[in-house]
Structure 1
Amino acid sequence: MTTPARVATRLWLAGLILLAAWLVGCSADTPDNAADPLRVGVLKFGTVSWEMETIQRNGLAEKHDVAIEVVPLASENALAVALQGGRVDLIVSDWLWAARQRAENRNYQFAPYSLAVGAVMVNPASGVETLADLANRKLGIAGGPVDKTWLLLRAYAQKTQGMDLERVVEPTFAAPPMINRLLLDGDLPAAVNFWHYNARLSALGMRPLLSVEQMLAGLGIDTVPPLLGWVFAEDWADEHRTELQHFLAASQDAKRLLNESDEAWAPLEPMIKPESEAVFAAIRDGYRAGIIKRYGAPEIAAAGQLFDLLATESDGQLTGGVTQLSADVFWDGYRQP
């Protein structure tokens, strides 16, 4: 005879079996990457955070079956430390940094993010119309003595005009916001700054004197290589190749959306905090100008040419004594024909 106790026990066991089956089914429906998201280090108010917001707001991570965890950090140095310490999986940096790390047996690799870099901007009231007009005048420089755009400008001036800019101008180094303020106030006739600061300057009436693309062409580098890119550990990329490719596809979709749709920029305005609609439009246009259209062997070769030039111009300071840019710096899992 079946007792009430036995019936209860059987019902309890049956319930456990059903619960276990349900849990297994749920586990099977959960993407593998949901438990192991790609941790992306970003500057809280930096340009990379705009793209991450666009990816998340428009469901692009889900579209490409990749889970992303955005990790806001306070400075470029904090980003590097977080990557080296394993707190994040990837950050945006440049292939120069990745090359220096590889020379110290930290095998980082690079996949392209943006072409956007600096330029030389002038105050129209300064009377500066050509590079030669900067002789015996101040030149504001954001980024320090080994800023890439400053080094390029020096090489360009020497090759095209025989000018030794270090001797001819008075370099004035300051933080990017201060450089902008000094230029707008007329305390500097010209300045080298990063692209999003230059976009603000352009909207406020300053004008470009010389772009990085023009400098490169004058130095015999006809293909513009992307300087900024996603940087990550080679071993990690080997283990997460598919997830990384999915992430880069989501990144490309975000860029495509931001390139084609003004409406996609509206949610970013509180992050950008533009001084005016004109500044907002200039920043949007500057971002779009930096979107990479192709990436392959010619761009990697051009990066090698640029590396050699920067190594020479900085006496090895910028390249950390590395004498040649290894092809291994450039991750083979991504190309853009």
Structure 2
Amino acid sequence: MKLSQFKFDLPKELIASHPPKDREDCRMMVVDRKKQTVEHRNFRDILEYFDDGDTFVINNTKVFPARLYGEKEKTGAKIEVFLLRELNRESRLWDVMVDPARKIRIGNKLYFGEDETLVAEVIDNTTSRGRTLRFLFDGPYEEFKATLKRLGETPLPKIHGRPVEPEDEERFQTIYAKHEGAVAAPTAGLHFSRELMKRLEIIGVNFAEITLHTGLGNFREIEVEDLTKHKVDSEELIVTPEAAEIINRSIENKKRVVAVGTTSMKALESTVSITGKIKPFKGWTNKFIFPPYEFKTAHAMVTNFHLPYSPMFMMVTAYLGYDFAFEVYRQAIKDKYKFFTYGDAMLII
């Protein structure tokens, strides 16, 4: 497949700029892969599609305030720094992206906070936009992390075209977020409220929690036409023995496994064995799923409506089938479904 095959025209007004009042209060398109049918429902209706013993695989990663605004020493030039991942805890080394990149060279110092609370030194150029920073902070690690959190901003994607608001701090996070490390929310999980999860539990649905720290690679432009040549950023993945056991029990009992979001699907496909069972895992994955691809675990998937050319859209086309996926997206645009982070949901069964 070529990159150009994942183009479609998305009217800007269909990109949801704010979350709905209540998490589960959004539209849900229900798409049947075998029958190739489409239903229009509300997300709360998800209860009607699952039974006792089915397992929802959810990603409990937690988004940290990854966007910092600082100034370059001497010139005072405004610099935006996006924290990608911590490279070394003791040395306070971080892999970051900087904007504008052309102004930042090795040896430059950057100052953050009104009273220049935090200072960082550029020690490496990894890519044209990426850098390695060493934060010059003498206090204990907990104090350093607290300073980053205080100075950082919720990394709402810029395509939303608005400043970050107080509600984003809570709503750009799933209610089951536990382990900090993501720079983007696993958006399919944003639709689940505590009440809805409780009602799913009452009917006997299990929740298996995996951790996949969503990276910026999901939103970076793919720069090659031949998708086999695209290098995917690695993301940290943890599947505990307990989570693997819950998922495998559903498989053994011929119950359904539901991937909540493309990150959960990536986790399943990264850890499935030849026998079709999930193995416990702790490490990194750079799995890139685009059609044609044979999925081995999930019987259903909850996802949002994604942007053209994005890896998430490519995964959905692989799961639905390329032609049918485009037909579904055409209908979503015609019926004015909301797209992206705070958009509507799709349930694929």
Normalization by structure 2: what TM-score? Answer: 0.26
Which of the pair is proportionally richer in strand?
2
TM-score by length of 1: 0.27
